[in-house]
Each structure stands twice: as structure tokens, then as C-alpha cells.
Amino acid sequence: MYDLIIIGGGPAGLTAAVYALNKRLETLVISEDLGGKVNYRVQIKGLEGHEIISGADVVEKFKRQLEYLRFAHQMDRVTKVAPVNNHFAVMAQSGQFEAKAVIVATGARPQRLDAPGEKRLIGRGLSYSAISHAQVFIEKEA
């Protein structure tokens, strides 16, 4: 059983993985790709001559920091997350994984799970914004 499963391989998911691995948590990142939206190339007019870091460069830096990424990453699609006793079961196309805690970092816009009880749990342990709700979870145990 993992300490933490992170669903999503974009900037938020990879950042969470870096912090979790630095804390020596047994961590698994499940995502279909690494980098998320930072892989898309966007050119902004008026910024010529300024140093620009590409999304690919950012992802590469994350990969280098996650020296254990090849052991801690599953290229897969999550189909379901369910509570089981005192932990969570994460079902993916390739099989089932278990963890004490789960972070859903699936993208820049909230992707609701449509899970039973989801609406009732928003703000009571379920959050869609790490920035807005981080203070609520400080020093709380999973």
C-alpha cells in the first residue's frame, strides 16, 4: 500500500510528488502523460527578447527532481477512487492500487468526480482549489 497516490501528471501533480518523495512518502503518480497543459506551446506577443521557459523545460526539471519517477509513475487512466476501511482504492485501466491518501491533480479547471456524496463533502475534506483551501488542511492528518 502506498502512503500517497497522486492522480495527474501536470505541474500540480508533479510538485506534490516532489514534496511527497522529499518527505519519504511511498508515492505513486498515475497519469496518462507528464506535463499536462505545460506541454502546449503558447507564444505571447510583446515578449520578444525576454527569456521564456518552455513548458517542456519545466516538465524536464520536474522529471530530474523526481529521480525515482520511473518507479513512482504509472502511465494509466484512473477510472474510479473509492474509500475502503481506512484507506483508498484507486482503480485504473491496468489494475487497482491502494493508498492512505489521494491527491486529485487533474488539471487547470476542476473536473468533478460525480461521486456519491461529493456535493456534501465539498469544503469538509474535499476541495478543488489547493490555493484557496490550503489553510484549512494545515497540520491535518490524512
Instruction: State CA 93 to chain mean position distance.
Output: 18
Report yes or no on whether pTM surpasses 0.75.
no
Together in a domain, 91 and 29: yes
Q: What's the pLDDT score for residue 90?
A: 97
Residue range(s) defining the domain that contains residue 17? 2-111
Together in a domain, 18 and 87: yes
Flag the least confident range among 28-32, 40-44, 86-90, 102-106.
40-44
Asked if residue 97 has pLDDT above 90, the reply is yes
Average pLDDT, the chain: 78
Q: What's the pLDDT score for residue 44?
A: 47
- Judging by beta carbons within 10 Å of its beta carbon (0-12, 13-18, 19+), is residue 128 exposed, middle or buried? middle
What end-to-end distance do the CA atoms of the chain give, in Å? 14
Together in a domain, 41 and 87: yes
Together in a domain, 138 and 75: no
